[in-house]
Amino acid sequence: MNIQQAIKAVIAKQDLTQDEMHAVMSDIMTGKTTGAQNGGFLVGLA
């Protein structure tokens, strides 16, 4: 799952699997995502 898919999923209030969350967080922590994408993902989690 990439960050765009994850943002769409969390905004739609869909749960992410452990593997999906791991993939997204790995991309975030290694700098493969932008600040705007990170912000959108975090807002979707709220």
pLDDT 10s digits, 1-26: 999 999 999 999 999 999 999 999 99
Domain locations along the chain: 3-45
Mean pLDDT of 14-41: 98
Pairs from 36-39 (Cβ < 8 Å, separation ≥ 24): 37/3, 37/4, 37/7
- What single-letter amino acid sits at 46? A
The pLDDT of residue 41? 97
State the pLDDT at residue 27.
Answer: 98
State the pLDDT at residue 19: 98
> Do residues 44 and 37 make contact, with C-beta atoms less than 8 angstroms apart?
no
Mean pLDDT of 25-40: 98
